[in-house]
Chains A and B, each alone.
Chain A
C-alpha cells in the first residue's frame, strides 16, 4: 500500500467518492506516483473481476417458480417451512452463552446501532479489532467464525460410525425402547421437538459410536408397526431439520420396501416426502398403485407441487374421476391438496375440471392459492411469458377456471383471450361471471380493438348490462374514473356500452358517467346527448353548467362540425377526443328546440359565444341551422350523424 502523503485519498478515489476537485488533484498525483498508481490499478482490476461475477437474475418460468415459492412460504406458518433453523434448544444454549460472553466482555458497544452522526475518526486498526471480535454474537447476528461444539452432535449422531449388523443387535433393542417411550403420536410439524428428544435419549448410543441411521433403517422393517412408524418419523424429522443427508444410501429403497406393509405406510410416505428428491417422489408415485396407500401417496404428490411428476398425478386423478363414486370422492380429496406453483399444475387442474371435477373443488384450490393461481391464469390467458406459447388448450382451461377464481385481476387478461375468435364467447361469459368494475373496463378494452360479429357484440352488450346491474354507485365510479378511460377508443367503447345498456344498472351508470367530475369529457358529452335523445329529464341549469365548463379544444383548426346541410360526417371532428363543447352545444340546442325552456333560452342568449371554444360556437351554429331547416326528429338524427353516433 502506498505511503505517500495523498494515500489517504486513495480509498475514496477508488470508490469514486472524492469531490471533483480532490479527484482531479489525485489524478494529477497518479501521474507522478508509481505506488499510488499501482494501488489504483490493483483496485481497478478487482473491480473488473467483481463485475464479471455471475449475477443471477431469474427470468421466465424460473422467475414464476421462485415468486410462487415465495408466495407459498408467505402463506405457510413458519413451523411448516421445510428448511428450518437449527434445533431450538441448541440455539438457546448458543444465545445464552453469547449473552454471558457479552456481559463478561462488556461488549455492548458492539451492538448494532442505527446510522448516527459520525462519532469521530475511526482508524482501520479499530475496525480490524472489531472484525477480530466478530466471534461475539451481536443482537441476533451470530458469528460464523466459531460453532458451538455441541452443534456437531446431530450430524455425528446420524453419521454411520459403526453399522456392522452384528454389532447392532443389542443397541437395536435399546433404541427400540427409546422409540417406544417417545410414542408415535408426533406430527411432522413438531419434528424439531421430536428430534431433540430423540437425540437426547439416544446420546448414550451415539457416544458408543453406534450408527443411529443404520438402526433406524433396520427398524423400518420391524414386525412392530408402531416401532417402524416411530423410526420413520425420526428419520423424517432428521432430514427435515438438516441433521441427516437426503441422499443417505439405501434410505429411499428401505422406505419404499417398508411401504408395502399397510400398518406403517403413511409414516414411510411422510419420510419420503421429507427427503423431497425426485427419487423419493418417484417412489411415492409408484406407491399410488397400492389401493390402501393410493390416497396418501397422491396427496403427497399433489402437495409437493413437483413439475416433473405432474403427468403421473394427472393421469391417476383423471382415472379416478372417471371411475366409481368412491374413486371420484378420493380424487376430490386429493385435488383439495393441489398447489399451483407452475403452469403444468394449472394444466392438471384444467384436465381435472374437464374430467368432471366439481367446480367447488376447483374453486377451493384456486382460492387457496390465489397468489400463484392468478398470475398463472393471467399468463395462460394472455398466452405470453410464464405460459407455454401456442398452448390454446391451456388458455381454454384458464378461461374456464377464471370465474372460479373470481379475481378482478383476471378481467384484463380475459379481454386479451377474447380477441381470439374461438374462445371469445366463453371469455366474455367469464367476464360476466367475474363481474365488477374491472370487467366493465375489460369489455370496453376488448370492444375498442375487436370487430365482433353481431352475436358476439350482443353477448358483450348483455354482459355489460348484467355486470352494471350488479354494481353499486361506488363501483361504477371506480370504473368511470379508471385510467384506462383516458384512452379515447376505450372510452368511446365504454360509452357505447353504457348507452345501449338496459336493466336496473343502466340509468345509474349513465347518471354516474354524466355527473362524475373525472369522467372524460367526450364520455360525458356522448352520454348527455344520448340522454337528450332519449328524452330523459335533464336540468337546464346543468346543461348551461356543462357548456360553461367546456374546455377549449387545442385541435380546433378546421370546421370539425362538418356541413350541416349535407356534408359528410366527420367522425374525427365533433366526436371523440375533446368534443365536449360541441356535443354539449348540441345537447343544449336540442333541449332548446324541444322544450323552448325559457330559462335555457335566456341562458343561451346571455352566453358570450366569443368566450366559448370556437368549435362549440361553430357546432352550435351548425346545429341551429339544422334545427331551423328540418323537423325535430330529423334534427336529432342529423346531429347524431354529425357526431358519428349514427341515427
Chain B
C-alpha cells in the first residue's frame, strides 16, 4: 500500500500546484503575461489569512478577506504598472519579478523568516482510514477534490458565462474583440484580479499544507510555471493534467531517486518545450 499512499500524496501536491497554476494560466491565456509575481501574491494571501486568523479566529472570514485584499492589490499592480506593458513580455517579466521581490521582502520585514502555517478549516484535522493499512490525512484528500472542483468551475465559467465568452474572444483575437465592443482593458483588470485571487486562495490552502516562508514564493512559482507550460499556456484542463503529472513525478522522484529530485521535473519539461513548445493542450501559435 506504500505506492498508493505515494500516489495520493503526489495527487495532493499536484492539486496544490493546480490551485497555484490556475490563476497563472488564465492570466496568461488572456493577457499573454507570465506573471512572475504570482508566487508573491500566493505568499501575501497565505500570510494575510494567517495574520487575520490569529486576530479573529474566524477561518472563513480570514480566507475571504485574504483573497479579496490580495485581488485588490493585484488589480492595483495591473492598473498602475503592468497595463503600460501590454504585449511586451520581457519587460512584464522583469516588472513582475520586481513586484515579487518587494512583496517577499515586505513579508520578511513584517513576519520574519520563520515558517508560518495559515489556518485550515475545521473538520479537516486528522486522518482517515482508507483501507486496512492506509491512513491518509483528510486535508490532503479534500485538496484533491477542491482542485477538481475548481477546475470544473473555471472551465464552466469560461465555457458558459457571458463574461467567459468575452474572455475567450479576447484570447482568440484581441482586435476583433475590441471592435465588437468588448472592453479589453476592463477584461484585463478583471482577469488579473481573478488570477491574483486564485493565487491568494492557493496560498491559504497550500500554506496550510506545506507552511510558508518569504523565500518559498519563487519555489512554488517555478513549479506552477512548469505546470502551466506543460499543460499549454492558457489551457485550464491542460494545467490540471500537468499538475497531477508533475505532482506524481515529484513524489516518485523524491522517493525513488532523491539525488535527482528536481532534475527529474525540469529536464523533461525542457525537452517537452524544445520539441513541443505549446505543451499538451496549448493553442498553436499563429504568428
- Say if A and B assemble together: no
Q: Interface on A for B, CB 8 Å cutoff?
A: none
